[in-house]
Copies of this chain bind each other. A is one copy, B any other.
Amino acid sequence: MTTGALTGPLDGPIGVFDSGVGGLTVLRALRAQLPDENFIYLGDTARLPYGTKSAQSVVRYSLQCAAALLERGIRCLVVACNTASASSIDALRLQHPGLPVIGVVEPGAEAAVAASVSQHIAVIATEGTIAGGAYEAAIHRLNAAARVTSRACSLFVALAEEGWTSGPIAEAAARRYLEPVFSMADPPDTLVLGCTHFPALHPAIAAVLQPQVRVVDSAATTAAAVARRLDRSERPSGARGSVILLATDGAARFARVGSAFLGEALRADTVEIVDL
């Protein structure tokens, strides 16, 4: 992996990894935009969540996930986990210079800067993503004058995994996290959902926001970024691509919780358990 050439065959699958099942929202968007591509998705469920772990540990886990996917011949790597994107993109690109590596942070930041009129942008994410400041840095690379207000919303992950994505508890949590951000004198006009779990809570989040606030989730924007980066000239078109699902622990839970994120029913016996 030390040359500048593309890694693997031109029609190799697209590798996607996440700390667990949340990244299936990104896989869903990728399949919608690139239906004829083959995908290998790896959820590092044995070590989830990444969002409360140190950056050093997350970098190590990310390099292990990438290595496991490269062994299976991927030609492009999508880091579907915001925390891993925030901490590990540079290390992944350094270790695999020939491999296109696309994270969710940069496309999300681009979409937010494009959507915001006031250029005051709110970012909500896990503790790890917020502490690392990656969204703030990515937004400032696009517009140094932008203002970014960040807030860690750890409970949203548990709410999404429990399936409590709407109703009074989800709305009360959304209000508690977001009211201090949006009751400022000069509030943000755009909100970035900087965690793959958060789009599941969109209804509860929207219920506590003023209707003019734009909500950006990085799944669709990341899928568009992947499509732009790929050499798709040699792809056969028309055929529906395949999906291989890998996890590091708990096939039954992966299938049960993951179905909601992928938007289609998953069976536990289609999830292969791997050791990293």
Contacts and interface: CB of A to CB of B under 8 A. Distances in A.
A162 interface: yes
Protomer copies = 2
Contacts of A159: 155, 158
Interface in A132-182: 154-155, 157-159, 161-162, 164, 168-169, 172-173, 176
A52 B57 CA distance: 20
Contacts of A173: 169
A158 B154 contact: yes
Interface string A46-76: 1110001110010000000000000000000
Contacts of A36: none
Given A54-B250, A172-B172, A253-B52, A157 B158 contact: yes
A45 to B, nearest CB: 8
A127 interface: yes
Name the prevailing secondary structure of the A interface residues: helix
Contact of A53 (B46, B52, B127, B176): B46
Nearest to A55: B250
A18 interface: no
B53 A57 contact: no
A197 to B, nearest CB: 12
Contacts of A168: 172
Contacts of A154: 158, 161-162
Contact of A169 (B54, B157, B172, B250): B172
A249 interface: yes
